[in-house]
Amino acid sequence: MPVPEKIQREVDSLRQQIEHHNRLYHTLDAPEIPDADYDALLIRLEQLEQEYGLQTPDSPTQRVGGAPLTTFKQVTHAQPMLSLGKAFTAKELEDFEARIKKRLESDTEIGYSCEPKVDGVAVSLLYRNGILERAATRGDGETGEDITHNVRTIRSIPLKLIGDRVPDLIEVRGEIFLGKRGFATVNSRAASEGTKQFVNPRNTAAGAVRQLNARLTAQLPLEMYCYSVGVIEGGKIASRLSEVFEELKSWGLPVNPERALCKGIQACLAYCESLLAKRDALDFEIDGAVIKVDDLLLQKQLGSNARTPRWALAYKFPAEEKSTEVLDVEFQVGRTGTITPVARLQPVFVGGVTISNTTLHNMDEIARLGLRIGDTVIVRRAGDVIPKIVKVIRAVTETSKTRRKSIKVPATCPACGSPVERDGEVLYRCSAGIICPAQRKESIKHFASRSALDIEGLGDKLVDQLVDNGLISNVADIFNLNAEQLAGLDRMGAKSATKLVAAINKSKQTTLPRFLYALGIREVGEATALALATHFGEIEKLLLASTEALEAVPDIGPVVAQHIQTFFSNKSNLALIRQLQQAGLSWPILEVTATTKPLADSTFVLTGTLETMDRNAAKQQLIAFGAKVAGSVSKKTSCVVAGPGAGSKLDKAIELGIKVIDEAEFTALLESLSEAAGK
């Protein structure tokens, strides 16, 4: 059924009105009508389009986003999207102009198009017959990703160009960004809804344009400024970039209002200084200015290097700095037990985000700064760089002096109360290890790992789920899990839950070396755990060992001995070991002593697949008999154990004339050594 002419005229009129008001509101910041009137126009258009089947890709109603994509399509840029060379000083800008004049063999004054370097995401927009056909990310410059579904939701980007003399096909390049006001609005909404707030505008914009679900992108007030054009067919554009910007603007495309035309590099430098002075007042984040030769013919004549044009340069502004007060210094415990000082600051907006705390790294950094609580400090942040205290501004008033407090490392761990010990020259660490709540997830993951208890199916993501859901709080809780609890977790059905419970029960029958390694004692790896087990034979003797007795174990020095004794002198650690034993963990008593080392001074290399034993078990047995196990073959290698699939290591062993044995010979060797040791 044909659409009544009156309805078609109304639809066309509504689309023109809505796009007109979109441009006034989102590009020119000069709205003419209230939001309610705008919404009424959009609702009327949606009604007519649905009733008469008049939806088109360029309609303003199509900006809300469609069904989510499953993946991004790759887009090859017809003309590469090059990176820009960088300058940081006036001298580097002058050198830039000198290179241009030398290549052009002319000393004529050059005109430059200057604009802010917006801190956003570079994109390419392709318009065919004035209709937005495709949008793509810059990617690696040669290949990007198709993000048309997301770009359609950005109201400052026209779905259809307006005006005369629009080329049949034109590629427009620009920077998509999230303005400061938009960023503040988004985070304010997140705070009121109790959802996660965003870190900074650039990362938010970058994540939004790469959303598979365009409806999520549509919720953010993204904007764009055009900065150049690429491929053009079926039409002409102006011969100077400054005039091209005017043409783009006349077609409804957004261009940066802070752009300028400058004659000579000194005028460019003055522009940069002026832009830097009003950086904070701009509603979008910038990290510098872009200087381009204005004449497009000269641009073509100058050409490009491999990755950067010779006719353009980014003049980078210095890192943003602000002063604020250090309210306190707290100590955080990292996932491996490292104690790190963190400064709590009077909140300050710097480098695009509000900073309320920053790491101080270690006590040496505090000493270098001469920092105390109550000091006024300079905080620097540039781009995505972690904020940093770079300087202390000394307090000058008596009042502020009385508030200054020295910073000291806590004697006990802030997370569990265990003693804090020094680790090397500058670091401090919680001595508890496995029972410390701050180290909970990492200690459980280590405990279940292949070289430790080897609980098949208990991977990192599942450990995170178990801890986050309150099902386990330490490694002993693993053995209280049941299939019903596990089956209720994400991606864990009844069958998988039953298999995991079986694997947990199986892991109860272990070896003393594996158990000691699983405890995560500082600097006690597989070899040291095996050395301790073979020296003491059973855990009760190890628990009572003095530092002198520990140092009697081969390859254990005073530092490692102190770590071991500190661990076993912790009552909470001892209680955990008893819990594990009560849960059913057991191991055979080892009979190989420290003096029974028939393979001492031998170096073995394992390569290929071992079909009858676990590679780690083979390695532990070799170490128990005194051998060293290396990862590569050299002239010092005594023997290579080669299983199916052995490759370059086997070839090198044959080349060097090193003894090679197969798995059957290796098994026979271990059996004979065990018999000789009295096993």
- The partner residues of 160 in beta bridges, in order of sequence, read 131
Contacts of 75 (CB under 8 A, 6+ apart): 124, 134, 136, 139, 143, 144, 145, 146
Write the CA distances from 623 to 340, 403, 531, 616, 636, integer angstroms. 37, 58, 8, 11, 17
Contacts of 456 (CB under 8 A, 6+ apart): 500, 503
- Strand duo 143-145 + 74-76: pairing: antiparallel
Whose CA is closest to 577, among 440, 412, 434, 417? Answer: 434
3-state SS, one letter per residue, for 662-678: CHHHHHHHHHHHHHHCC
Phi, psi angles (nearest 5°) of residue 585: -70, 130
- Strand duo 169-178 + 121-128: pairing: antiparallel
Written as six digits, the tokens of 677 are 């040791």
Whose CA is closest to 321, among 259, 368, 376? Answer: 376
> How far apart are alpha carbons 20 and 395 in whole angstroms?
56
Per the CB < 8 A criterion, the answer to whether 11 and 54 are in contact is yes
Written as six digits, the tokens of 98 are 């000198």
Cα-Cα-Cα-Cα dihedral sign, residues 391, 393, 394, 399: negative
Place of tokens 């028939």: 598
- The partner residues of 169 in beta bridges, in order of sequence, read 128, 233
Q: What one-character-per-residue DSSP string does 196-263 give? A: PPPS-HHHHHHHHHT-S-HHHHTTS-EEEEEEEEEEEESS---SBHHHHHHHHHHTT--B-TT-EEEE
Cα-Cα-Cα-Cα dihedral sign, residues 8, 14, 20, 26: negative
Q: Which positions are catalytic?
A: 117
